[in-house]
Amino acid sequence: MSTNTNTNSAELKATLNLQRKAAITGGGAFDHAGRVQVIRMADFNMNRTIFGGLEGIGRKFMDEKLAKEPVWNNTDATDVEAAYAEASSAHPVPQIDQRLVDFMVDECDFSMEHADGTFLEHLVFCHDYAARYYPDHSPNVALLHSILGTATNTFAMDATKIPKLKALLTDFEALHVEVFPSTLRLFYDVDFLDELEANMHRIDKLEALHLHRVIDNEPLTIDAENLWINLNYHLMHFVDFMPSANWSSQKADPLMQMFERLSNLLDRAGQRQAQVEVAFPKEKGAPVGEDRTLFGRITGLLPPTITLKLARKSIQDYSKKAGHDLSYRIDWA
């Protein structure tokens, strides 16, 4: 049976697959082992995705992660569709501002694909999830989080259009849209998370974070209150990067490592604001309903420290190519 349903947000046509519908319905990221069979995509082409610029071992890692799709059993697929329809009827998602839609369609290029569909599908999912589970803050930030750059140096718009974009946003939205790509890259820099964790005893003394805008290296400053909000946008963003199943066999996945670390950090700091239900695996386990390639079985044996180190090196290379300074400074009272 079909697992995709078209939804229209003004002129933004997007498809929410069953994994995304389950995330929106349940309010979090879930391991669907036992509900799906994970198979390799027959026509997967990484060059059409935002990860097309990866090279070497990093490219092989990402190919192993992305070139898969879940095939749901009919009963579970029907259950997810029904739950999503009921939730959507009870709590409709607000329509996206037509001015933003026009800007995204007329001034930007979102033609690159995401892990399992178009990039617009990822953006609309992030918007819809944030609208439901972070209602105190604008879902426009989640919609536009990567408009000023992804982690792999794909830029939907030119920096010269930033004033035009800002004219469509509130000051709050503009700040978070500017900062998001930069804080994303800092997750790969363990020093940033290390510093926050090491100062948990005085976390209430955090005043501001200074960093650089990815698209043009302009300096940015975000105050403590907004930094915690920004990190909650990231918490929701990670939901859409989790495997559909068999998390326990993929504990070394750098994105899962960063997701878990951010989740724990927000809990310890008392700053978990967005609803994101998630249970990370405690021990490594064998995959269920999934045949791994030889490379996949080998990478599954690598220590998490090695895979994270490789991912960090990749981000450093991307920032160097973009002329982006990864250095940062945290101000403490």
> What pLDDT does 207 receive?
98
What pTM did the predictor assign?
A: 0.90
> What pLDDT does 291 receive?
79
Contact assessment for residue 214 and residue 149, using Cβ atoms and an 8 Å cutoff: yes
Contact assessment for residue 151 and residue 315, using Cβ atoms and an 8 Å cutoff: yes
What is the C-alpha separation between 249 and 83, in angstroms, rounded?
A: 28
What's the maximum distance between 2 C-alpha atoms anywhere in the chain?
58
In one-letter notation, the amino acid at residue 27 is G
Chunked mean pLDDT (size 10), the chain, 333 residues: 40 84 98 92 70 66 74 96 95 92 91 62 95 98 96 94 98 98 92 96 98 98 98 98 93 93 98 98 88 71 85 92 97 97
3-class secondary-structure state, position 208: strand
Contact assessment for residue 236 and residue 207, using Cβ atoms and an 8 Å cutoff: no
Beta bridge partner(s), residue 9: 12
Kindly report the length of the chain: 333
> What pLDDT does 212 receive?
98
Domain ranges of the chain: 5-332
Contact assessment for residue 71 and residue 36, using Cβ atoms and an 8 Å cutoff: yes
What is the C-alpha separation between 180 and 200, in angstroms, rounded?
A: 23
What is the C-alpha separation between 316 and 62, in angstroms, rounded?
A: 17
Using alpha carbons, select from 113, 119, 125 the residue that is nearest to residue 44: 113
Contact assessment for residue 148 and residue 178, using Cβ atoms and an 8 Å cutoff: yes
> What pLDDT does 209 receive?
98
3-class secondary-structure state, position 124: helix
Q: Tell me the backbone φ, ψ of residue 116, rounded to 5 degrees.
A: -140, 40
What is the C-alpha separation between 257 and 282, in angstroms, rounded?
A: 12
> What pLDDT does 40 receive?
81
Contact assessment for residue 230 and residue 273, using Cβ atoms and an 8 Å cutoff: no
User: CA angle 196-58-251, nearest 5°?
Assistant: 55
Which alpha helices (H) appear in the chain, and where do they start and end? 18-26, 56-66, 74-90, 98-107, 119-133, 140-143, 162-166, 171-187, 190-198, 224-239, 254-269, 294-299, 304-322
What is the C-alpha separation between 196 and 133, in angstroms, rounded?
A: 25
Residue with tokens 């939730």: 87
Per-residue tokens: 129: 């999830």
What is the C-alpha separation between 305 and 232, in angstroms, rounded?
A: 25
| Helix 254-269 vs helix 171-187: crossing angle, to nearest 10 | 120
3-class secondary-structure state, position 75: helix
CB atoms within 10 A of CB 214: 31
